[in-house]
Amino acid sequence: MRVAVVDDCAADRLWLAGELETLLADRRLEGTVTAFESGENFLAQAQIRRFDLAFLDIYMAGLGGVETAERLRTFDPDCLLVFSTSSRDHALEGYRVQAVQYLVKPCQTSDLERLFGQLDRLLPAREKYVELRAGRQTVRLRLRDILWAEHFQHQVRLHTAGGGMLSTRLTFGEFAALLSSDSRFFVCGRGLLVNLDHAADFDGRDFRLSDSTRLPVSRDLTGRAKIAFCDRLFHQGKGAVL
Task: Count Cβ atoms below 10 Å from residue 32 Cβ, excluding itself.
Answer: 12
Least confidently predicted of 19-28, 121-130, 215-224: 121-130
Name 8's Cβ contacts closer than 8 Å, sequence gap at least 6: 37, 38, 57, 60, 61, 62
Measured CA to CA, the distance from residue 28 to residue 22 in angstroms comes to 10
* pLDDT tens string 133-183: 888 888 888 888 899 999 998 899 999 987 889 999 999 999 999 998 888
User: Once rounded to an integer, what is the mean pLDDT over residues 95-107?
Assistant: 69
4-23, pLDDT tens digit by residue?
999 999 999 999 999 999 98
